[in-house]
Amino acid sequence: MYLFYSNATGFYPLPAPQDHRNRFRRSTNISIPLAFHCQEYFLVAVVLLLTYCCHYLYAILFYQTIKTMRQTILLLTIIVLSFAANAQSSKTNHMSTVKPFKIDVKQSVLDDLQNRLKQTRWPDAPENIGWKYGTDPVFLQKLVAYWQNGYDWRKQEAALNKLPQFTTEIDGNTIHFIHIKSKNAHARPLLLIHGWPDNFYRFHKVIPYLTNEYDLIIPSIPGFGFSSHTAMNDDGSAKVFATLMHDVLGYNNYLIAGGDVGQGIAKSIANLYPDNVAAIHLSDVGYPNGTEDWSTMSKAEQEFGQFIQRWWYQEGAYAMLHATKPQTQAYGLNDSPVGLASWIIEKFNTWSTPGSSIESKFTNDELLTNIMIYWITQTINSSMRTYVVDYSVQLASSKKVSTPTGVAIFPGDAPTPKEWAERRVNLKRFTQMEKGGHFAALEAPELWAGEVDAFFKSLAK
């Protein structure tokens, strides 16, 4: 979750971002857009035309034979065909960089994990403290016992590998993604973007509800999961995903759904590439950060701002650590699986449907598989760094979105009023959901998928 943080709110008054057309300046292993090839052809044609004219004048002035003219024309033709073949080869090579991907964790990594779990040095805790001071020690000890004696990573790995996964190289970074093509010939491409502290696994339960109507593209954000350990801000990830959708997968127009970090990236894509994004669906739109003119805000917005202020002091310490000193805590979280589990599990408890236990909302296997993806990829540090990287740049995600937007607010998340959503996006649908929270796609998959589908279908009427 992002609060009072530049990647989502634009908290720092800073200069405007660079023109997004700079995205064409890429490494040679990435395809050059077709428009750029056309510019190449045009320049080559102009040069060749001038060369031909010079030879023609030379033939007239110095009485060159027709044979010489024919040889010149043949040479020019060969040159043009060579340029065309080279350009086509470049495009073909780019497409070949998409590689099938399978998760295959070395057994030595799993053995090391078990040794670390056995050697856990548990801290003391007040009796019957529950979740009051953070992660419930009783719950965590039970979860770790199951991790050691009941959890089967190979079973979860096999289940994940049933999903069509791929990697590609974009701007020197490996990007991991799931790509599920619908059997429906009229299906629309839908990009699903996760947040923190989860990963692409957030969406695995909604896949059956959406594949009849959509081609699903579910990437790992840079710095998360099986993507490169390169932390990026909203605009950086937006450029990567726009390249993935348009240049790699060939989608000229698509839909996006996301929340938390994903909502910031979705807004950046919509603002940087408005011609490519038909609509977006969000589970939050960002939060008041204290820079607003409260005299222009409705009573509901002002109450929301006060709520966020209280939330910041009660629950936002993690975000301040991520945004200031992520490296300090990374040593412990990357070294201790129990420490990592504690840091993540507390958020799954706090940010889900209020009034019920964490066991009633997520299974142990779901909680541990999400944690395992952080553990085996060692991405907890790079994921936390997304809160701090390039905070000196004004981001496109901080600007109002003109792309048609649907917003669903879940009871386990911040109580965003409709007026605030209208201030931030081009609001076409606003729904207060009955169940779910920050991880709604995992906690209430049918409900989340139904709302997303209903919004996108409403735009087609």
Q: Residue 337: name the closest of 370, 365, 362, 371 by CA.
A: 371
Known catalytic residue at 390: no
DSSP state of 122: P
Q: Where are the alpha helices (DSSP H) in 194-233?
A: 207-210
Residue keyed to tokens 């991880």 = 439
- Please pick, among 194, 214, 438, 453, the residue that the annotation labels catalytic: 438
Known catalytic residue at 229: no
- Please pick, among 215, 234, 235, 260, the residue that the annotation labels catalytic: 260
Strand stretches in 38-172, DSSP E: 99-101, 165-170
> How far is the CA of 365 from the CAs of 159, 368, 369, 444, in angstroms?
12, 5, 6, 16
Residues 449 and 113: their CA atoms lie apart, in Å, by 35
Known catalytic residue at 438: yes
Query: What letters, b where the CB count within 10 A reaches 16 and e where it falls short, cover 96-130?
Result: eebeebebeeeeeebeebeeebeeeeeeebeeeee
- The two structure tokens encoding residue 315: 């629950």
Q: How many CA atoms lie within 13 A of 315 on its CB side?
A: 17
Q: Is 444 exposed, middle or buried (0-12, 13-18, 19+ CB in 10 A)?
A: buried
- Please pick, among 209, 214, 374, 387, the residue that the annotation labels catalytic: 387
- Residue pair 341/140 in contact by the 8 Å Cβ criterion: yes
The catalytic site residues sit at 260, 387, 438
